Copies of this chain bind each other. A is one copy, B any other.
Amino acid sequence: MKLDFDKMDGLVPAIIQDAKTGKVLMLAYMNQIAWEKTLETGNAWFYSRSRDKQWMKGEESGNVQKVKEVFIDCDDDTVLLKVEQVGDAACHKGYQSCFFRKLNGELTVIEEKVFDPDKVYKK
């Protein structure tokens, strides 16, 4: 199984979905190393474009994502992971999902905060 990392300069997007509820939790990017680490460890690893390095989701917050199922799209250039979200929050802003805002004319926050980011992340 070889993913197509060429279309996006060495990255593929990965959609993260809650395995139990089907809720889409976040989208992040993987490079080859993050992809291999995800398969090897069973925890979701990503590549941070801003920090220019791979990282394990939850390495600081503890909210790791345990991979339950892996799907590849028809073009081999997108990954879908169904995960168990430890801590019940994927978003670094403290929400269950990064998609905590709904657009309906204006943007409205539709989720309750699960944790306070100021208490979880070091400055």
Q: Interface residues, chain A, CB within 8 Å of chain B?
A: 1, 7-8, 13, 15, 17, 21-24, 26-27, 49, 69-75, 78, 80, 91-93, 95, 98-104, 106-107
Do B100 and A70 have beta carbons less than 8 Å apart?
Answer: no
Do A103 and B27 have beta carbons less than 8 Å apart?
Answer: no
Do A103 and B73 have beta carbons less than 8 Å apart?
Answer: no
A74 to B99, CA, bound (A): 7
A24 to B81, CA, bound (A): 10
Copies of the protein in its oligomer:
2
Do A106 and B13 have beta carbons less than 8 Å apart?
Answer: no
Do B1 and A107 have beta carbons less than 8 Å apart?
Answer: yes
In the complex, chain B residues whose CB is within 8 Å of the CB of A71: 99-103
Do B103 and A1 have beta carbons less than 8 Å apart?
Answer: yes
A79: shortest Cβ distance to chain B, in Å?
A: 9
In the complex, chain B residues whose CB is within 8 Å of the CB of A74: 91-93, 95, 98, 100-101
A101 to B110, CA, bound (A): 32
In the complex, chain B residues whose CB is within 8 Å of the CB of A78: 27, 98-99
In the complex, chain B residues whose CB is within 8 Å of the CB of A93: 74
